Amino acid sequence: MKFFSLLLVSFLFIPLFASATEAQKPQVTYFDQEIYYIDYNGHIRINGNFFGWEKGKIINIDKNIEVPIDTVNAAGGQWTDYTVYGAIPVNNAAFSVGSNRLVVETADGVRSDPFIVFGKKLHKITSITPSTVNFGDQIDIIGEDFG
């Protein structure tokens, strides 16, 4: 009888131990769908589950390259098991204006399903003339990316 109960206990604990050590696939439940940037860093927030407490990576799967995300110097930046928040440096090769298919990759190399984030540039005003106006006067605004 002792042999049978020991055998039964062994079979009950093996699946529990195995599931606790297997890496869970990250699940993205929310993400910023558009990121605006021009001469400064854009910020991204990704919420979900099973990202891991050790910092992993965000991968642009169309370019097969890691998106640099600064979770250290960005105000409020973090990588937790359920949230990634950080700055994406402007003018990097991994994230661009337009559609970007991204995945969350844990430190163990397990990837989430892809999700799409759109990079957009903000308008940049370079000059406004004249510098002094009265109500109703016409002004010229010169800049970049007005569309």
pLDDT in tens, the chain (147 residues): 554 444 444 444 444 443 334 579 999 999 887 776 655 677 889 999 999 999 999 999 999 989 888 877 777 789 999 999 988 877 677 877 788 899 999 999 999 999 998 887 766 778 888 888 888 889 988 877 666
Q: Using an 8 Å Cβ cutoff, are 90 and 105 in contact? A: no
Phi-psi region of 99 (alpha: psi -120 to 50; beta: other; left: phi over 0): beta
pTM summary value = 0.67
Q: What is the pLDDT of residue 14?
A: 42
Identity at 122, one-letter amino acid code = L
Q: Both tokens of residue 146? A: 């007005």
- Collapsing DSSP to helix, strand or coil, 21 comes out as helix
Task: Please give the pLDDT value at position 6.
Answer: 43
- Of 40, 79, 34, residue with least CA distance to 56: 79
**What pLDDT score does 4 carry?**
44
Q: Write down the pLDDT at residue 5.
A: 46
Q: What is the DSSP letter of 63?
A: T
Contact 98, 109 (CB under 8 A): no
- At 112 the pLDDT is 97
Q: Are 29 and 48 in contact (CB under 8 A)?
A: yes
For the chain, how far is it from start to end, CA to CA, in angstroms?
80
